Structure 1
Amino acid sequence: MNKQEAIGLPQVGPAIEVESHSIDYIPENERHARLSSQGPFWFLGNFHFFTISIGFVGPGMGLSAGWTTLAGALGIMFGTIFMAFHGSQGPEMGLPQMIQSRAQFGYRGVILALFATLFVFVGFNVVNVSLITDGLKHVFGFDPTIVAVVAIAAGALLSIYGHDLMHKAFKWALIATLPLYALVTIALIFGVGHAPAAAQVAQAAAAPHLGFSWIAFATQFAIGASYNISYAPYVSDYSRYLPKNTSRTKLIAAIFLGAALSGTWMIGLGAWLAQELKASDALVALNQVGSSMLPGLGNVIVAISVWGFLPIIALNTYSAMLTLLTGVDSIRKITPTRRARVASVVAISAVVLICVLAIKGNGIALLNTFLVLMLYFLVPWTAVNLVDYFFVRRGRYAIPHFFTPKGIYGAWQARGIVAYVVGFVAMIPFFFVYDAAAEKAVFEGYFARLLGGVDIAWLVGLIVSGGVYWLLSRSLDLAAEERVIRGIRESDFAPGAKRTQSGE
């Protein structure tokens, strides 16, 4: 009996097995991933109807499609810079992103950052599944509860099998969706899917005028930035199987181009769907355009869009599993077995399902609010992590010491914790949380009010958290750390390697 059968999982072909690694170090001899896979992987990461929905935010606040596309593109590219630099840590460290954060926050102190990232992973899937259930209900009349259960279960199974199967699923999903979204884009350019002329006149008279607004532009920029900054805690989870000598420049470029190009395309597509078709649901809009080209094509586009989106649900579940195991391990030492990953995935999926069934309301409004809140939680962490990696320790870490509270990074690292908290607190007066459904601000900080609702909290958080951490790190004894790093032997990695090879 093999490992899959032992834990009750089906076989998925002779070459695909349940991944044996989770929060442990990936030895050099098991680094089998290729640099060429990173660009397409992260291109699909943004190439779906969820990103199209982000393009609805600007028009919903009175911003024209052209301005929405520009704001979204600038935001996506800004956020992708942070995402890509985090991704370069994967092959150099061979670790999940949040394990590496123990250097800044401590073996137990990292729980602070884990709460923020777990909120992001679970929240993303709640919004993901809510958009799927809303869209399939409107297009096919499917029962939302059944759709939610099937979508979450499919993502859970894929995340249990892990890295290799997920990369394959992303490749096939991209092959299936790329020609369809290209067709929809071309059709929209040539006016396919638009209402008849008389109906367009009536819609134009009833619809509010779309133009330019600094508040809407800044909000769309912030949402675009937060969307790809949100990938920061993920990226090295999927680049850690690359060889250690992988070119950092080429990897950063591959991640940046993949994520930025697809993100810009999909946000622009969403903006034009919102302006020209008055769309408020991405799947419904795709169905409308497809059906205008050929009867039944709309249903095909919707079905393949949802199928191609399931790997994204798995992406969030997989990284949430790594985060949860890291959190548990930070409190009580665990062996990251296959059973542990299955139990974590099941628990996370159950929480997502409960939240989806409990939260009702406008999916786009939920998306808008969630992305803004997510940015607030992630910005202080990404600033601390990148400043430490590129400017303080410069990629030099004693990896075995990540796995013990008695190592050189200790149980608690006050520098990272203080920098995160100070940065977050500094952002609060600049917060601007807008409820698109109610068309009113949920929370407006003092300085956000002075700025007329323009949200620059993310910029404040980056500068303050990064700056505070850099100043506090001036007292680090990096020479002593370097002596420890130079004294590490290959055998120091043996316990982790042996544990994961056994799998149980």
Structure 2
Amino acid sequence: MQQRDSIVESRSFDYVPESERHGTVRTQVQFWFMVNATLITLFTGAVGPAMGLGLSWTWIAVVVGSIFGTLFQAFHGAQGPHMGLPQMIQSRVQFGSRGAVLPLSAVTIVQFGFAIFFIQTASSSLSAVTVDQTTLYDVVIGAAAVVLAIVGYSLLLRVEKIASYITLANLVLLTVAAAVVLPIGSLIENSPFVPAAFLAQFGAAAMYQIAIAPMVSDYTRYLPFKTSGRAVSGAVFGGTLLSAVWLEALGAGLALASPQGADLIAAIRDMGDRFGFGIGAASMAVAVISCLITCSLSFYSGSVSLLSAFEAFRPLKSSGAVRAVTLVAAGVVVIGATLLLPADFLPAFNAFLSILGYFLIPWTAVNLTDYYIVRRGVYSISDIMRSDGGIYGRWGIQGMISYALGFLAMIPFFSTAIYTGPAASALGGADIAFAVGLAVASCSYLLFMRRRDLSTEFDAVRAAPLNTLGEPPSAARASTESMEGNLSA
């Protein structure tokens, strides 16, 4: 059993027993605040202005869209302490141990793909305040992120806590600088409303938040079992919403005050420099720290999803060595891609990641519908951890069909640089595919599960060595042995 004072985390896709749980709801607020507190978030707030939307309407779209999207990731947060499992492996209940591989694969690629952007942003920010050694910075930042991810959750939590104070102070100063330097008053007075642009900004803000959903329980699972689910959801909601809305609002102001197509990261440094007190350079330094930390989170969650998918086909015992080897291999691939991808390829690559993100929308709908409405949190952890799926099987037909219907319904509403569906074109390019996918997948799953008798399954859950009904005293002492037995079954 892993000890709480161990340096390197041994857990990855497996269950975290009560003896290893720690942390508080307050630390989760700081943790999730930092998840969105990177300069990359600025670009989400520039979607509406790029289509002619005024500042006040952009701010409204950012707030409303962010609230809508954050609700979904916050609901996932309560699953962590209740189940003690990382986010994506919980999908085995709805999709089966092997049926869950599709969303697991999409999450893996998206997380490692976003790591490329975080490395590049951190490297560019560092080059802006030092000498231009982009290649060297890419390697060093990528390697540092991998090391943080290898050490694991406890170190990430401590680093995020410290960084949250620095980032908060920087955001306050940037906000003051924006109020002084940018023509905010005139931008608010001259604030045209463009319906298609408003929908596009709403969708961008919502999608940006929903994209975090596949990683939420990876970090809330270490909280004690009796931690209030509402409190956890509130911490996730408040933390991520605050940083997202704050930075997207700044991004909107910068986008409207800067020339069309201007680099927002360069613009925020210029704004800080014009205000004085070295805020421009300081913001770049803070950007390096925040991107490095968030990059390590991408590596961490990507490796958990990758191992979860692999374990469905070949039983695998979780260990620190397995995590380290997986993360080092992923780091080599990501850093290599960062160095090899040409700058003009990044917009297309970003669109590719956006399309992969669509694969996660019907997943979150099915997963949350099952957890809160169908099975209401009653699960056998022992069976989830079996490679054959145990009572949940290898293939969850109802979940898979609901997922497919939700995804197919979204296609006409896709709006990316690679493909724009007819419905999205009719809406002026606004992307509301997420809303369609959520509704269709959720309703389909409810319809398919309506007549399924779960009484036999719930009897098996009560008899399972580990379940979500409350860990028996004997299971608390032997939880690791139970897991190892299930993995080898």
TM-score, normalised by the number of residues in structure 2 = 0.89
Q: Does 1:236 align with 2:217?
A: yes
Report the secondary structure of 2:214's partner residue: coil
Residue 7 of structure 1 corresponds to which residue in structure 2? none
Q: TM-score by structure 1 length?
A: 0.87
Matching residue's letter, 2:283: I
- Work out the CA distance in 2 between the residues paired with 1:224 and 1:118: 22
- Provide the C-alpha distance between the structure 2 equivalents of 1:430 and 1:71, rounded to a whole number of angstroms: 19
Deviations 1:226-259 (A, max 9, x none): 1111111111111111111111122211211111
Per the alignment, residue 360 of structure 2 pairs with 378
1:475-486 equivalent positions in 2, closer than 5 A: 475-486=451-462
Report the 3-state secondary structure (helix = DSSP H, G, I; strand = E; otherwise coil) of the residue aligned with 2:335: helix
| C-alpha contact 1:400 1:492 (8 A) present in aligned 2 | no
Partner of 2:400: 417
After superposition, the Cα gap between the structure-2 partners of 1:369 and 1:138, relative to the gap in structure 1 and judged at 3 Å, is: farther
Aligned pair 1:456/2:432, yes or no?
A: yes
Structure 2 counterparts to residues 87-106 of structure 1, below 5 A: 87-106=77-96
Instruction: Please state how far the C-alpha of 1:212 moved relative to its aligned partner.
Output: 3.3
The 5 Å alignment of 1:178-327 reads 178-191=168-181, 211-278=192-259, 280-294=262-276, 296-327=278-309
One-letter amino acid of the counterpart of residue 390, structure 1: Y
Please state how far the C-alpha of 1:33 moved relative to its aligned partner: 1.6
> What is the match of residue 73 of structure 1?
63
Q: Distance in 1 between matches of 2:44 and 2:21?
A: 35
State the aligned residue count. Answer: 470
Are the counterparts in 2 of residues 58 and 220 from structure 1 also a CA contact under 8 Å? yes
Matched letter for residue 228 of structure 1:
Q
Instruction: Quote the residue 1:349 is aligned against.
Output: 331
* Aligned-partner SS, 2:329: helix
Amino acid of the residue matched to residue 96 of structure 2? G
Secondary structure at 1:101 match in 2: helix
Give the counterpart letter for 1:486 in structure 2.
R
Counterpart position of 2:21: 31
Q: Which residue of 2 aligns with 1:58?
A: 48
Q: Which amino acid aligns with 2:445?
A: Y
Pair 1:297–1:262, CA change in 2 (3 A): closer
Q: 1:337 to 1:137 in 2, by over 3 A?
A: same
Match 1:47 to one of 25, 37, 40 = 37
CA contact (8 A) 1:105 1:417 kept: yes
* Percent of aligned positions that are identical: 40
User: Contact conserved, 1:223 with 1:372, CA < 8 A, in 2?
Assistant: no
Q: Report the AA paired with residue 257 of structure 1.
A: G
1:471 corresponds in structure 2 to 447
Q: RMSD over aligned Cα, in angstroms?
A: 2.7
Unaligned runs of 5+ in 1: 5-13, 195-199, 436-441
- 8 Å Cα contact 1:123/1:370 also seen in 2: no
Change in 2 beyond 3 A, CA 1:62/1:135: farther
TM-fit CA distance, 1:496: 5.7
User: Structure 1 residues 72, 418: CA separation in 2 closer, same or farther (over 3 Å shift)?
Assistant: same
Q: CA offsets per residue over residues 4-47 of structure 1, 9 Å max, x none?
A: 9xxxxxxxxx9561112211111112211211111111111112
CA distance in 2, matches of 1:16, 1:157: 15
| Counterpart secondary structure, 2:419 | strand
Aligned-residue offset at 1:500: 8.7
Q: Which range moves more in the overlay, 315-324 or 354-363?
A: 354-363
Structure 1 pair 426/493, CA: closer, same or farther in 2 (3 Å)? farther
> Which residue does 2:468 correspond to in 1?
none
Is the partner of 1:415 in helix, strand or coil? helix
Deviation at 1:287, TM superposition (A): 2.0
Which SS does the other structure have where 1:108 is aligned?
Answer: coil
Q: Residue 426 in 1 paired to residue 397 in 2?
A: no
Q: Which moved more, 1:216-225 or 1:73-82?
A: 216-225
Task: Give the Cα–Cα distance (whole angstroms) in 1 for the partners of residues 124 and 155 of structure 2.
Answer: 28
Counterpart secondary structure, 1:331: coil
Match of 1:115 among 105, 112, 123: 105
